[in-house]
Amino acid sequence: MVDLPPMPQRIARRPRDKRGYPVPWFATIIDGEPDFRVADSEKWALAVRFGRCWVCGEAAGRNRAFLIGPMCAVNRVTSEPGCHLDCAMWSAIACPFLSRPRMRRNEKGLPEGSDYGFGGGFALKRNPGACVVWVTRSWKTFKPAKGAEGVLISLGDPESVFWFTEGHAATYEEAIDALERGVPTLREMCEQEPTARDRQTARLELDRMYAAALQLVPKAA
């Protein structure tokens, strides 16, 4: 059995896989076994429509905690529905991929056409080195433009923000490092705009969003 930190009651009630990990509600069952890498599209719809927690599957409250990557803290967009705060915080420190910055995604045996989850836009498949629990009362779904399929979630202003890396609360330096390593990818996307004016507008908007994200990192010691 794996050695895991103490679980919130709602996660502790979840079934376990062969390794001993609690099976997140969103996981797709493939050949009788849960695949944590592949989110169930029907569960996504239930979570968004009926306010189910993405991790435990139980009803979530008004405040929703979204477990996101550093770049999502910049553009305030995610593909995954929100959770209970304790479910999100536990996942941030216990999920092997989220708590091990050097760990790469395992693509072995993924179903054909699968892209790890359900949603739209263009996901960054690298390990971001840190994760963020973004607590907010407001969010909305939208369809991405420019040929991307699916549906995304736009996050409202946060009530609180928590940064994690390597299974612990991230320091100011660790959060800044995660942001700086990801922003070049967003800048590359700005340069894909069709006209010079659009590219300049995208650069300015990214600068504004990045400055706002910097205000949400942990305070420097």
Burial of residue 108, with CB atoms counted within 10 A of its CB: 0-12 exposed, 13-18 middle, 19 or more buried: exposed
Please choose, from the candidates 89, 86, 185, the residue with its C-alpha nearest in 3D space to the C-alpha of residue 128: 185
* 30-66 residue pLDDT tens: 989 999 889 999 999 999 999 999 999 999 988 999 9
CA 24: distance to chain centroid? 14
- Pair of tokens at residue 3: 């050695």
The pLDDT-based confidence of 220 (bands split at 50, 70, 90) is confident
| Bridge partners (DSSP) listed for residue 160 | 135
* Greatest CA separation for the chain: 56
Please tell me the predicted confidence (pLDDT) of residue 104. Answer: 45
Residue 146: per-residue pLDDT: 63
Q: What is the SS3 assignment for 127?
A: coil
For 47, the token pair is 């979570």
Model confidence at 123: pLDDT above 70 = no
Residue 122 is predicted with a pLDDT of 42
Rounded CA-CA distance 98/68 in Å is 10
pLDDT, tens only, 179-207: 999 999 999 999 999 999 999 999 999 99
Domain boundaries, the chain: 62-214
Q: What is the reported pTM?
A: 0.86
Q: What is the mean pLDDT of residues 156-175?
A: 95
For residues 5-27, average pLDDT: 95
